[in-house]
Structure 1
Amino acid sequence: MSKRRIMLRIFVQCCLLVFCILRHSDAGDSVQLQELSKRLSFLENSEIEHRNVNTELKTTIDQLQATVENWKTKANELESRLHHKDKRFVAAPEAPVAFHAVMDASVDHLGHNQNIVFETVLLNLGNAYHNAHGVFQAPQSGVYVFSGTIMSWIDPKPEIQAELVKNGQVLARIFGHGDSGRHDQGGVTVTTQLVTGDEVWIRELTPNDDAVYGGRFSSFTGFLLYDM
């Protein structure tokens, strides 16, 4: 029952009470007057109970709304964390960086610390690998993965030692030693952090005046794992 209807009912009862008092003022009507007073008290108590119920309902609704807002905040925080976590493992989707180059032609007479050039470029997203010198130059800061493989020549130059370097500093070495007229292939994979402009390449270490077998058995590959 709505508050307006309760008030209207009380008003009607009061009018009836006044009407009965005016019409029956003698002592014989006192019983009826008491009955009307009881009804009036009942209606007043009913109104008080409805007010209390409305107050409790409002309190409950406020608590539920606060709980919903709290869960919304937690959901937004979780979504933000998941987005950040996913972003760490996406390597700049607007500008990916990856390359793969191979050596088609065998190279002879390599000197100590001479760059080994992988002249045939099969992939060069971001144009960061320069096949004229065999050097990769980081276009943006991040964590990168590089892999290099070298196939040795046969007699009289069966052995090759090479280095994968960053700005001239050795990250890892590659070794191959052919025997009994057979080639040998060595390889290495590294993960390293670069800043924009850092350079990575593979160079010959020893012996001097060495040779590397081509035929796409020797290769150089790299990609951006995630930016920073």
Structure 2
Amino acid sequence: MERTFLLLAAFIFSSGQCQDTDPSRDPDASLPVCEPDIRDLGVHSAQILELQRLTQELAQQLQALKESTSAAVPRMAFTAALGRSLGPVPIGMPVKYLVIISNMGNGYNPATGIFTARVSGMYYFRYTMFNNLDSATNSVMSLMKNGQLMVSTWDTSPADAFDSATNAAVLQLEVGDNVYTLLYANRQLFDNDSSFNTFSGFLLFPL
């Protein structure tokens, strides 16, 4: 790239060699017309061809750099929905969201309901909890990281129905860390084809 700039500068400064050095010239007189030396035209043509070649070479290098950078950036993102009612469950357990909406990087496993980090970095996770039950056994859930509670949602009021709650967190994960939602014992969720209960996550940036 530096060579290209040098060639361009040389071409510009060598393209006009006419100077008026006569001290007796009337300052109001017209300046002389500068005409390029015909002997320099061959040199300039060669410089133009070299600049064109280098420009094309730089464009190819830039495209290759963009492609390699894009390929090196890890991509992990998923959204899954429950798709059917669940519970009341006898013990607290991970929720298995079986309806896969997206799963780039294959970090989410619908057989277990667990997302496993394949890249160390900062991740964003979000889940939504829904029930339509008028009973004391409504919904209580938490977002879990490696078995530790991160954030929760709670709805145990027996006096209403059709309730929804959402929570989210940004988590730092190492390769192999697990994230999932936990439905607590004796609690339940309502869902159908409308996918009221969802679990999503994606990599913000690697570390």
Give the TM-score, by structure 1 length.
0.55
Deviation at 1:152, TM superposition (A): 2.2
**Identity over the aligned pairs, expressed in percent?**
26
1:174 — aligned with what?
Answer: 153
Distance 1:99 1:120 in 2: 11
Quickly say closer, same or farther: Cα 1:123–1:170, change in 2 above 3 A: same
Deviation at 1:174, TM superposition (A): 1.2
Q: What are the within-5 Å matches in structure 2 for residues 20-39 of structure 1?
A: none
Which of 178, 190, 195 is residue 213 of structure 1 equivalent to?
Answer: 190
Quickly say closer, same or farther: Cα 1:101–1:178, change in 2 above 3 A: farther
Q: Give the secondary structure class of the aligned counterpart of 1:196.
A: coil
Distance 1:178 1:125 in 2: 38
The letter for the 2-side match of 1:210 is: R
Contact 2:137 2:186 in 1 (8 A): no
Deviation at 1:180, TM superposition (A): 5.0
Q: Give the secondary structure class of the aligned counterpart of 2:189.
A: strand
Deviation at 1:202, TM superposition (A): 0.3
Deviation at 1:214, TM superposition (A): 1.1
Distance 1:143 1:103 in 2: 25
Distance 1:142 1:107 in 2: 32
Contact 2:124 2:201 in 1 (8 A): yes
The letter for the 2-side match of 1:212 is: L
Does 1:112 pair with 2:87?
A: no
Contact 2:78 2:201 in 1 (8 A): yes
Contact 1:117 1:133 in 2 (8 A): yes
Q: What are the within-5 Å matches in structure 2 for residues 6-155 of structure 1?
A: 94-155=73-134
Deviation at 1:91, TM superposition (A): 9.8
Distance 1:108 1:167 in 2: 23
- Which sections of structure 2, spanning at least 5 residues, go unmatched? 1-68
Contact 1:152 1:158 in 2 (8 A): no
Contact 1:154 1:178 in 2 (8 A): no
Distance 2:118 2:206 in 1: 11
Distance 1:98 1:91 in 2: 16
* Structure number having the greater helix percentage: 1
Deviation at 1:95, TM superposition (A): 3.2
2:181 — aligned with what?
Answer: 202
Runs of 4+ in 1 over 6 A off after TM superposition: 90-93
For these two proteins, the number of residue pairs brought into alignment is 137
Q: Give the secondary structure class of the aligned counterpart of 1:174.
A: strand
2:203 — aligned with what?
Answer: 224
Distance 1:154 1:117 in 2: 20
Distance 1:156 1:129 in 2: 32
Give the TM-score, by structure 2 length.
0.61
Quickly say closer, same or farther: Cα 1:92–1:145, change in 2 above 3 A: farther
1:34 — aligned with what?
Answer: none
Q: Give the secondary structure class of the aligned counterpart of 1:211.
A: coil
The letter for the 1-side match of 2:149 is: V
The letter for the 2-side match of 1:149 is: T
C-alpha root-mean-square deviation of aligned residues, in Å? 2.2
